[in-house]
Chains A and B, each alone.
Chain A
Amino acid sequence: MSESSGPILSAAGLSKSFFGVTVLKGVGLELYPGEVHGLVGENGAGKSTLMKIIAGVYSRDDGTLELAGEPVEFTHPLQAMRAGVATVFQEFNLLPERSVAENVFLGREPRSRGFVDTRAMARQTAALLAELGIGFIDPDSRVSSLSVAEQQIVEITKALSFDARVISMDEPTAALADNEVELLYGIIGRLKARGVAILYVSHRLKEIFDLCDTITVLKDGALVSSGPASGLGTDELVRRMVGRSISTYFPRALPGTVVGEPVVAVRGGGNHYVTDIDLDLRAGEVVGIAGLQGSGRTELAEAFFGAVPFSRGELVLGGERMPLRSPRAAVRAGVALITEDRKAQGLALGQSVRDNALLVIRSVFPGRTRAARRSVPGVLSSLEISSRGLDQEVQYLSGGNQQKVVLAKWLATKPRVVILDEPTRGIDVGAKVAVYTLMRELARDGVAILMISSELPEVIGMSDRILVMRDGRLEAELDAGSSEESVLAAATGTLTDTRGEAVL
């Protein structure tokens, strides 16, 4: 077996389904030493699933995986790590309260005479960091004191300490600023020079073309193409990734929808996280907010909802100045917030569907409980929630049905303004369409809607107006139907370069 010429990792015919839904259909790819292999596709195309199968997080239903020509079966991420297959996930596996060196060598602390040799540990960590060309991270500093980019470097260092031959990176630049991306490029260059094979998952096509030697495209869980990056143009790549027109997916505005007067108007709004917010939300209008992770989108929603109120500027709601100092005040004023993390912030997981649907009514408008209780079954059935009954605990529902319960909870308050933060994250296509349809119905009924989303097709397909946030400010306002390139250019602050950064 010649390792020098053959692939270090080769996968063939990988399939995986969850609860009867096939998310990966017979996908294969080959990684070669010293090569960066790009993996692209829309959200839900199966990239994460493929990565997790390679990392040993998920077990495959079908197909084969070979490492250096030998068939392997990873049932645990650690097994994959030990075999030299490391993964840097978006959610880091680090202990924030421990030092960099302690994290890198966790479970494999170097010892001398039976005791942990803390100095050797720091020295070896510094050496690994130096191999990546990093001199500014102190092995003794606590991980919680590092920036996201630095924490990511710690993860890569940890992978390197296992002598990884394959490193997968899941959207490594999603949370990085431009100069930090440069740093990552440098690190990837050094990993290549060491003969490490890299599987690089990203939405940013510019990076894919900058870094990758080979590009594999997935769509709806199936392989579209896998081949050399040279000769492949952006337009062609986007065509392969999308392959379906947006309009079939997103319902149009319903007949009778009229964009009316502003329900909420903010002038010069700001707090510790956002500033200079001038924004009108009009009855019957869907306003989309785009922006990178960390650009202040969620903070804007929290300011409208009184969770982290505006400390500057003026907020007028329904013609009156209203400071909305708490979520309770916001709910009373007719504002609803569907949070991005429904399990942590949207639902009481151990309580029934009915109790969750009545949660806000009971706590803010107890006088309306009786009426709401009667209307709950109707609201739930109109949302087509499939549960075993109103007494089922919501933790046993699928993500889509959980999201519908959250929506039902807020619909019960008859809001004038509905803010949705990543409303379709982690839910299936059917539920997505239900959410979109509901948004259109609310708009028709004169509700003002603010939708935050990381999925650009969603923002573009649903919004009457698109606002792009960057660095805590509203950077740009774009018309409905703007191109993904122009939205992304505003989000990244690279208005000059509109070609490279197509994001799906």
Chain B
Amino acid sequence: MSATATRARRRVRLGSTAIVYLALLGVIVVGAVLVGSVGRNFFSDGNIRDILTGMSVLGFVAVGQTLVILTGSLDLSVPYVVSLSSLLAAETMRGNPANIAQGVLLALGVAALIGLGNGLIVTKLRVNGFIATLGVGLIVKGYLDTVYKGSAGSVPREFQLIGATGLGPVPVSTIIMLAVAALVFLFLRRTRTGHHIYAVGGSVDVARLSGLHTARPVIVAHVLCSVTAALAGLLLASRLGVGSPTVGSQGGYDLLSIAAVVLGGTVLAGGRGTIWGTIGGVAIFAVLDSVMSVMQVNPFLKDVVRGVVIVAAVAVYTGRALERRRPRFGAKGFHTTRSDSGPGPSAGPGLDPAEAAR
């Protein structure tokens, strides 16, 4: 393979994360114009605060969901973990600032156990992630519905500040969420387990043949996903002042988080995707929501818009992924690969990746 041909083939192609942020930019521009058209300022402190606040809860859940999806699994139990952790925290704190640490640790610990359960069911019992977490989610939901008839517990003022304060227009909760995202980014990039999450999601066989414990990354991803869902629950408890058994399911965090991850360019089958893509996906949803609120769009129409965005995004990614088999000839029969590789046989037998992949 001559160097020129190699270079030509690696011509810069926008990564999926770059596309997500371009789309975000587009949504912001269109949103700003629309908001401006009704005489409001999209870039006002208040509006920016609304958007960033809207990002934080879904952001926590989606960051965890990204990990799980990268391994090729799914987590449908997140909304119930969100609700459960809000209740555990609020009931443990009982309005007393001295109990804050205890409440937070209990909520995170229980969530980690649920995640461990999810991970073990997926890896050891070999139940598909979709079903395993659906089942565990129902179990948690059943517990919540049996034990709680409504909101319970209360969180102290000090804890409520987390959800209420901000640095300028940037809410503290959003900063924490982004910090968690940054940690997860480092985890994926700089730890073996992080690398192995991609490997297991990319191909279990290759991972096994390379000597990986293929269960471990999946279990770790599930645990971390439940823990970030619990962080979302803690944030909601801080905003509401109480724990609520329905706050998670009302938010629709299961499907919305999966949608945000996929919108962020992560492949649902696993093995490919980034945390920052997911954050971009979450931001697109937050901007859309904010614009539609300002425009006072009918709530049912909101879901229509969200749905269109998700389907369109995946259609775009799939279209790109399908062009695996490179054309050998152009529309009029001219050789497309000859021009940049010279008359050598480098465009000849064997360079067809689709053929070789079979």
Residues of A whose CB lies within 8 Å of any CB of B are 77-78, 81-82, 93-98, 102, 106-109, 111, 114-116, 118, 136, 141, 145, 147-150, 174-180, 183, 270-276, 291-296, 298, 311-312, 340-341, 470-472, 491-493
Contact = CB atoms under 8 A, between A and B. Distances in A.
B124 interface: no
Contact of B210 (A93, A175, A179, A470): A93
A93 B209 contact: yes
A322 B348 CA distance: 30
B1 A179 contact: yes
B351 interface: yes
Given A147-B1, A292-B350, A109 B195 contact: yes
B353 A148 contact: yes
Contact of A293 (B211, B344, B345, B356): B356
A293 B195 contact: no
B333 A276 contact: yes
The prevalent SS among residues of A at the interface is loop
Contacts of A179: 1-2, 344-346
Interface string B197-208: 011001101111
Nearest to A491: B349
Given A115-B191, A177-B345, A272-B328, A95 B212 contact: no
Contacts of B293: none
Nearest to A471: B348
Nearest to A141: B10
B6 interface: yes
B211 A177 contact: no
Given A95-B198, A98-B202, A106-B206, 11 more contacts: A95-B206, A107-B212, A175-B349, A175-B351, A272-B328, A273-B329, A276-B333, A293-B356, A294-B351, A295-B348, A471-B347
Interface in B34-63: none
Contacts of B325: 273
A90 B191 CA distance: 31
A207 to B, nearest CB: 14
26 contacts: A78-B209, A78-B210, A78-B211, A95-B199, A106-B195, A106-B196, A107-B207, A136-B1, A145-B9, A147-B6, A147-B351, A148-B353, A149-B350, A174-B350, A176-B350, A177-B349, A179-B2, A270-B333, A273-B325, A276-B333, A311-B331, A312-B332, A312-B333, A340-B358, A470-B349, A471-B348
Contacts of A274: 328-329
Nearest to A312: B333
Contacts of B353: 147-148
Interface of B: 1-3, 6, 9-10, 189-192, 194-196, 198-199, 202-203, 205-212, 271-272, 325, 327-333, 344-353, 355-356, 358
A293 B6 contact: no
Contacts of B348: 177-178, 295, 470-471, 493
Contact of B355 (A150, A270, A293): A293
A116 B208 CA distance: 20
B25 to A, nearest CB: 25
Contacts of A150: 1, 6
Given A78-B209, A145-B9, A291 B328 contact: no
Contacts of A109: 192, 195
A150 B344 CA distance: 17
Contacts of B352: 273, 294, 296
Nearest to A153: B1
Contacts of A276: 333
B323 to A, nearest CB: 10
Contact of A272 (B192, B211, B327, B358): B327
B201 to A, nearest CB: 9
Nearest to A178: B345
A369 B38 CA distance: 63
A212 to B, nearest CB: 22
A272 B329 contact: yes
A275 B333 contact: yes
Contacts of B191: 114-116
A84 to B, nearest CB: 14
Given A77-B209, A107-B212, A275-B329, A175 B203 contact: no
A275 B337 CA distance: 14
B329 A270 contact: yes
Contact of B349 (A102, A145, A311, A471): A471
A93 B329 contact: no
Given A94-B206, A98-B202, A141-B10, A180 B1 contact: yes
A177 B203 CA distance: 28
Given A97-B202, A145-B9, A106 B356 contact: no
Question: A-B pairs with the 7 shortest C-beta distances?
Answer: A272-B327, A175-B350, A292-B349, A294-B352, A95-B202, A107-B210, A97-B272
B328 A106 contact: no
Given A78-B209, A340-B358, A116 B192 contact: yes
B270 to A, nearest CB: 10
Given A106-B195, A115-B191, A116-B192, A293 B349 contact: yes
Most buried by A among B3, B271, B344, B351: B351
Nearest to A147: B1
Most buried by A among B6, B10, B212: B6
A147 B2 CA distance: 11
Contact of B10 (A94, A145, A183, A340): A145
Contact of A116 (B195, B207, B212, B272): B195
B260 to A, nearest CB: 20
Contacts of A177: 344-346, 348-351
A108 B211 contact: yes
A106 B199 contact: yes
A106 B345 contact: no
Contact of A291 (B211, B332, B349): B349
Given A293-B356, A294-B356, A296-B328, A118 B189 contact: yes
A271 B348 CA distance: 16
A340 B348 CA distance: 21
Given A108-B211, A118-B190, A95 B328 contact: no
Contacts of A295: 348-349
Nearest to B332: A312
Most buried by A among B191, B333, B358: B333
Contacts of B209: 77-78, 93
